């Protein structure tokens, strides 16, 4: 099966610092990656879509200067939460679409971010 990994699995940081989360497709090339976040007892909310080599497309209400997304290769996308604040504490999940297979998304295990 297609495997997507995320690193780190959990991170605790102080308010005002920046945090980078990596998302990798381990055994396939991902032309498109997606970033979601999930607050407790809620569903996943799409943040942005990123295509390899181009700028990410952000959903309405998501600040692109705060959540920096880079998709530099077909197997790696990064999400950087800049100047994190406690309200950014959430479960961040990435997802990847396999090259040549547009009908299925594969999800990473998620990253739990806690901002103190």
Positions that interact with other proteins (CB under 8 A): 4, 6, 32, 34, 36, 43-46, 49, 51, 91, 93, 95, 97, 102-110, 112
The torsion region of residue 61 among left (phi > 0), alpha (psi -120 to 50) and beta comes to left
- Closest approach, Cβ 95 to other proteins, in A, equals 7
- Closest approach, Cβ 98 to other proteins, in A, equals 11
- Closest approach, Cβ 46 to other proteins, in A, equals 6
CB 60 within 8 A of CB 45: no
In the three-class reduction of DSSP (H, G, I as helix; E, B as strand; rest coil), residue 86 is classed as: helix
CA dihedral angle for residue 15, residue 57, residue 22, residue 112, rounded to 10 degrees: 50
Q: Which helix (H) or strand (E) holds 108?
A: none
- Closest approach, Cβ 114 to other proteins, in A, equals 13
Task: CB nearer to other proteins: give 2 or 15.
Answer: 2
């Amino acid at each position: 099966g297609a495997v997507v990994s995320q690193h780190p699995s959990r991170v605790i940081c102080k308010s005002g610092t920046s945090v980078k989360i990596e998302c990798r497709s381990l055994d396939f090339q991902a032309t498109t990656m997606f970033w979601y976040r999930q607050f407790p007892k809620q569903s996943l909310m799409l943040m942005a879509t990123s295509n390899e080599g181009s700028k990410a497309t952000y959903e309405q209400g998501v600040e692109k200067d705060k959540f920096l997304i880079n998709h530099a290769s077909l197997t790696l996308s990064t999400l950087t939460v800049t100047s994190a604040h406690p309200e950014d504490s959430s479960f961040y999940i990435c997802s990847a679409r396999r090259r040549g297979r547009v009908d299925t998304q594969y999800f990473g295990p998620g990253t739990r971010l806690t901002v103190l």
